[in-house]
Structure 1
Amino acid sequence: MMSDRIDLSFLDRPEILSFIFYPRRDFGESRLGTTHFIEVEEGVDIGCRFYLSGKNNPSILYFHGNGETVGDYDYVSPSFNRRRINLFVADYRGYGLSDGSPTISNLVKDAHPVFKGFKEIIAQEKCRNSLFLMGRSLGSVPVVELAHHYQDDIKGLIIESGAANTFNILFNLFGFEISPSLKEKLEAASNKAKIREVHIPTLIIHAEQDSLIPLTEGKALYENSGAKDKEIYIIPGADHNTIWLVGGEDYYQKVEEFVKKYG
């Protein structure tokens, strides 16, 4: 597939990574979820947390934004669980209790063993095999990668505050100069390019006033999606980091409606 032909390790430079990743080590104990570790390569484990609401409920594999950790979702998970949705949140290298340090190439590569581990845990817990992918902001990169590869295993894809032009918009945001040849290479590895080949039901959620990843990016994901069943949900008056607060119950209601319709 397309992403298999593109080596992103040339982006794993300190001056780039320091702008894209903001790893935090606080993970903490949880009375709401169970902690799991998934090995992504020998000696490197990724910390995850499973918020189980019911074995017969659909389950979402969720990848968070660049300044968050799994532990933050102790506050968010009840809004999913009340709607009879199981939430499985994965960290990145260097975040929470995970080993290693985050890189762009590993952000994409690690998604595959995390997805495999997620499916194994779902089976071990004897949960219903009704699986969804959801990614917020930076988390849109691993979920689009997974949707591009494993559509037959997934009921639907949800992208919140995601970028279509992925790496180019990040470089523009932080003022990096991009040569025409590099721009072309990055476009081939972008969410926009991959999502054209994703045909499972897709929901795009975006803040109307997003100042980090503009609404035009969410619209581009929607327009380029290869899904027949797709929807874009725009939250008026919200910015990138106020989308949950402004969206409130309507945000979670939209996710519930999507999961129930296709799960």
Structure 2
Amino acid sequence: MQDSEAAILDRPEILQILFHPRKAPDTPPPAGAMDLDVGAEDGVNLGCRFYLASKDQPHLLFFHGNGEIAADYDPVGPVYNDHGLSLLAADYRGYGKSTGSPTVSAMLSDAHLVLDAVARWMKENGRTGPLWIMGRSLGSAPALELAASRPGAMAGIVIESGFAHTVSLLQHLGMDARALGIGESVVFSNAEKIAKYKGPALIVHARFDHIIPLSHGQDLYEKCPSETKALEIVENANHNDIMIRAGLDYFRVIRDFIRKADNG
């Protein structure tokens, strides 16, 4: 998505629906984790928190949901590590320890800065494990922005509770997008982006997601042209309890798909 296209969504009435930023406490990362700051050209600082497994194991660059911050994953990061995965969580502007204010256009352009910074950090620190991109809910947008425009920079993608279509999502959230002149022909949807991505793709979605209906996850799966793809539906789960309902299977599914794709 070009900045001019993304900027169509940078309206106050839309931003207040899409973004619910909150700050992180000024405390150090927990044992086994580290923070990385990524500077943007306009002086904004983007905060990231890394939960690290072994250097040769897979890395997940993770874009979280709109009501979350990277520090929320302090209890979860070690579970990823126990499953042989490093979790590299990035905060949007205004979230966690990041400065600035969130917009759709900034979220997408910042994703490229974070990817570049993570790639440099991995090279400088001898992190030889493959780099995967993961997006949850709102985070599916920056994840698929990178998948569509820079597929060679990643080993694969994981999309959890992601949305496929901008207009239907806004309408589901109570915004009359078409009355504002916003259509899928104006704003590229995630479905159009994943249709450009041929690498390994895992789609995870809750059966009873009330915020982003299962049909979005199914559309992402169907649109993806990859020969290595899977759709994992978590039964008896909703948008905000999908990890709890799935339990350790949540991490096993991600680990096993990545192992199979990396070894395939």
- Secondary structure at 2:40 match in 1: strand
Alignment-mate amino acid for residue 201 of structure 1: P
Gaps of 5+ in 1: none
Q: Take 1:4 and 1:15, find their aligned partners in 2: how far apart are those partners?
A: 21
Tell me how far 1:57 sits from its aligned partner: 1.1
* Aligned partner (choices 1, 5, 14) of residue 7 of structure 1: 5
Deviations 1:106-152 (A, max 9, x none): 11111111100010111121111511000000000000000112211
Partner residue in 2 for 1:256: 255
Q: Report percent identity of matched pairs.
A: 39
Tell me if the contact between 1:207 and 1:237 (Cα under 8 Å) persists in the aligned partners: yes
Q: Take 2:18 and 2:201, find their aligned partners in 1: how far apart are those partners?
A: 26
Tell me if the contact between 2:173 and 2:211 (Cα under 8 Å) persists in the aligned partners: no
> Could you say if the C-alpha distance between residues 177 and 42 of structure 1 is closer, same or farther in structure 2, counting changes exceeding 3 Å?
closer
Tell me if the contact between 1:91 and 1:98 (Cα under 8 Å) persists in the aligned partners: yes
Indicate whether 1:200 and 2:199 are aligned.
Answer: yes
Q: How many residue pairs align between the two structures?
A: 259
Deviations 1:45-103 (A, max 9, x none): 10001111111111110000000001001111111100111110000000011110000
> Could you say if the C-alpha distance between residues 10 and 4 of structure 1 is closer, same or farther in structure 2, counting changes exceeding 3 Å?
closer
- Secondary structure at 2:2 match in 1: helix
Partner residue in 1 for 2:126: 126
Tell me how far 1:29 sits from its aligned partner: 2.4
Tell me how far 1:260 sits from its aligned partner: 1.3
Tell me how far 1:5 sits from its aligned partner: 7.6
Q: Take 1:76 and 1:261, find their aligned partners in 2: how far apart are those partners?
A: 23
Q: Take 1:129 and 1:42, find their aligned partners in 2: how far apart are those partners?
A: 32
- Secondary structure at 2:182 match in 1: helix
Tell me if the contact between 1:40 and 1:114 (Cα under 8 Å) persists in the aligned partners: no
RMSD between aligned residues? 1.5
Partner residue in 2 for 1:178: 177
Alignment-mate amino acid for residue 37 of structure 1: D
Alignment of 1:74-89 (within 5 A): 74-89=74-89
Tell me if the contact between 2:167 and 2:182 (Cα under 8 Å) persists in the aligned partners: no
Gaps of 5+ in 2: none
TM-score scaled to structure 1, two decimals? 0.94
Alignment of 1:117-196 (within 5 A): 117-165=117-165, 167-179=166-178, 182-186=182-186, 188-196=187-195
